Amino acid sequence: MKAAILAASLIAAAHGAHADAAADYVGLAGSYLTTMDQSPDLTDLSGEWLMMSQLSPEAPAAPEDVTRMLERFCGGNTPTSLVIEAVSDVSMTMSQQMRDVTYTEGYHWAGGHRFLREGNMDATIERLGLAGMAPEKLRPMRQQIVRQQLATVDILRPAPDMLVLMQDGIAGMLIRCPAG
C-alpha cells in the first residue's frame, strides 16, 4: 500500500514532464491489478532513464522541478542516468556508468509484475569501491551483495515513460529521458 501511494505521488509530481502521466496512471492502475499473470511488454523500453528517487529524497514539489531534473541529468553518463535495453518482450538489462565501471543488471520476468534481478559480483565490488579490500574483510560483505543481486523486484509501468521498481517495501521511480 505504501508503495502504491508513493508511486501515485511521484507520478502526480511528474505530471508536467509527461502531461498524460497522471491520467495514464488512473486509467491503468486498475488494469495492472487485474492482469497479474500477463507478461509485460518490455520491447519499447530501450533508452536513457533517470532514477528520480536518487535525485530527490522527496517527490519534486512542482512539475517544473521534474523538467529541470530531466534537462540537467539526461544526455550523459551521470550517476543517476541509466540505460535500459530490451533483451526480449519479457527481459531487459539496466546499465549505469559509475566511476570507470559500467554496471549492468539483468531483469527477467517471473510472473505478474515480479522480475528476477541478477548482477555481476566483480562489477558490484568495483562499483562500491571495495576492489582493493583484503579478501578476509570482503568475505562477510559478499553475502549481502549476493542477496541484493539475486533478488526479486516488482516492476510497474504506470505510463509509457515511467517505471516503478519495488523491492523490500522500497520504491524507486524512473522517468524516460526525452529523445535527442
CA–CA dist 134, 77 (Å, integer): 30
Question: Whole-prediction pTM value?
Answer: 0.67
Per-residue pLDDT in tens (0 to 9) along the chain, 180 residues:
444 444 444 444 444 445 455 455 444 444 444 444 455 678 788 999 988 766 665 666 677 878 888 888 888 656 667 899 998 888 999 988 776 777 888 999 998 889 988 877 777 777 777 778 888 887 777 777 777 767 888 988 888 888 888 888 888 888 898 886
- Measured CA to CA, the distance from residue 123 to residue 104 in angstroms comes to 8
The continuous run of DSSP H or E covering 157 comes out as strand 151-159
CA distance 17 to 69: 10
Delineate the domains of the chain, giving CATH numbers in brackets: 2-117+148-176 (2.40.128.50)
- Rounded Cα–Cα distance for residues 72 and 116 (Å): 31
**Cβ-contact 162, 172 below 8 angstroms:** no
Check: CB of residue 155 under 8 Å from CB of residue 108.
no
| Residue 56 confidence (pLDDT) | 62
The contacts found for 168-172 with CB under 8 angstroms, 24 or more apart, are 169/2, 169/3, 171/2, 171/3, 171/6, 171/7, 171/10, 171/53, 172/51, 172/52, 172/53, 172/54
